[in-house]
Amino acid sequence: MTQTILHIDASARIQGSTSRDLTAQIIERLNADQVIRRDLTSPLPQLTEDWINANFTPANDRDAVQRDLLALSDQLVEEVKAADTLVIGVPIYNFAVPASLKAWIDLLARVGLTFHYTETGPEGLLKGKRAIIAVASGGTQVGSDIDFATGYLRHILGFLGITDVQFVAADAIMADAEAALKRARTAIEALAA
């Protein structure tokens, strides 16, 4: 069975990034047939009123300008749809996800494409996928009261239909880097390909 991974790195740091190092280790461990790469150091646009209006215009009624406004978002959605597994590198910045990752999520969460509303509430349309999130933080312990990143990511991915979410954490690195990295490596070794 072939496996496609969508590899997303959200760290602003290219060199010396713990989350980037962890995602590289995870990708190697999973040994996928195909890896789609999305590096969020290339900035994604923020949502605008024109983008929102284009998004809520029925697809058949969109003009060329609206289709162009949604083209990148369409591409991001297709990348996720093509993947069996998402591997996302997330540094915790100021207790939450980087703005670049939030921009990616905003462009991905589209009613009718990645979720829809039913009589019983919203339903995610990206089911059957796995997400492995490599988290790195200097002082924030994953799962603590000041971790506003991992709970948000689990929730938003679940909202989109991705409920198989695993975290590999190198957290509170400033307290004990060696122990934090050892825990993360152990978690990576335990990942099933």
- 17 in a labelled binding site: yes
Contact of 161 with 86, CB cutoff 8 Å:
no
φ, ψ for residue 180, nearest 5 deg: -65, -45
Helical packing angle, 64-82 and 99-108, nearest 10°: 100
Q: Are 39 and 69 in contact (CB under 8 A)?
A: no
Q: How many CB atoms lie within 10 A of CB 191?
A: 15
Q: Alpha-carbon distance 64 to 77, whole Å?
A: 19
Q: Which of 110, 113, 161, 162 is nearest to 133 (CA)?
A: 162
Q: Are 109 and 157 in contact (CB under 8 A)?
A: no
Which helix (H) or strand (E) segment holds residue 35: the answer is strand 34-39
- Is 144 labelled a binding residue? no
Q: Which residues are known binding-site members?
A: 11, 17-19
Q: Which residues are known binding-site members for FMN?
A: 11, 17-19
